[in-house]
Structures are given as structure tokens and as C-alpha cells.
């Protein structure tokens, strides 16, 4: 699938098939996130892969009961490090660049998951 087709056909999925996703595929999605652009190449993010159903259930409960969180094969939590951006760019880095950097990483992962 080419990039434009991937962008045009990506959708937010709320119902998942009960299909195992192999470790290599999960790591390919995470790698796509790590390749995202970031302000000053800070890469001020961390990714946590969650595939334990008991943790996913807790996360579902803390996410307004969104069942899609529990029903997914795995989750990737994107964590930002605003202190790193603040050191380089002040308040603007902390409040804006950190969010933009994390969003770019998340979108890369969404597109990679869709393409895979």
C-alpha cells in the first residue's frame, strides 16, 4: 500500500478481530513511532507496549470504560517527556512541542499498523 492510500483509508477501529499479533509486527509499529519527526530531533517520547489483559482491563476502567481498550490485541502507550523539551525550548517546548512530537509518533504508529 502506498503512503497516500494508507492515509486515505486509515480509520479508527473500535471492534477488533480476536487475532494474535506477533512480536515482530508490534515492534515494527513501535519502530515507526520512533522514526517520527520531533522538535530539534529530541525524540522526547517513550512507548510502553501493554499486552496483559489484566492491565488492559484497568486501563479500560480508567479510560471512561472504552471497551476497545480491553478488546485490542495490545496497546501502545505514548509517554511524553516535557522536561527534555523545556530544557531546549522553554515553556513552548514543554506545552506545545512535546504534544506535537508525541502526536507525530502516534500517527506514524497508526499508519504503520494500518499498512501492516
Task: Return per-residue pLDDT of the chain as tens, 116 residues.
Answer: 899 999 999 999 888 888 999 999 999 999 999 999 999 999 999 999 999 999 999 999 999 999 999 999 999 999 999 999 999 999 999 999 999 999 999 999 999 999 99
Q: pTM of the predicted model, to two decimals?
A: 0.92
Q: How far apart are CA 63 and CA 60, in angstroms?
A: 5
Average pLDDT score over the chain = 95
Quick one: what percent of the chain has pLDDT higher than 70?
100
Amino acid at each position: 500500500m502506498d503512503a497516500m492510500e494508507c492515509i486515505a483509508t486509515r480509520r479508527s477501529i473500535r471492534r477488533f478481530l480476536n487475532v494474535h499479533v506477533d512480536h515482530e509486527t508490534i515492534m515494527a509499529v513501535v519502530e515507526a513511532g520512533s522514526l517520527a519527526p520531533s522538535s530539534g530531533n529530541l525524540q522526547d517520547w517513550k512507548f510502553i507496549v501493554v499486552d496483559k489483559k489484566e492491565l488492559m482491563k484497568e486501563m479500560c476502567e480508567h479510560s471512561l470504560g472504552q471497551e476497545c481498550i480491553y478488546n485490542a490485541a495490545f496497546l501502545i502507550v505514548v509517554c511524553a517527556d516535557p522536561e527534555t523539551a523545556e530544557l531546549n525550548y522553554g515553556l513552548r517546548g514543554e506545552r506545545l512541542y512535546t504534544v506535537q512530537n508525541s502526536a507525530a509518533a502516534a500517527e506514524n504508529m497508526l499508519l504503520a499498523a494500518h499498512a501492516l
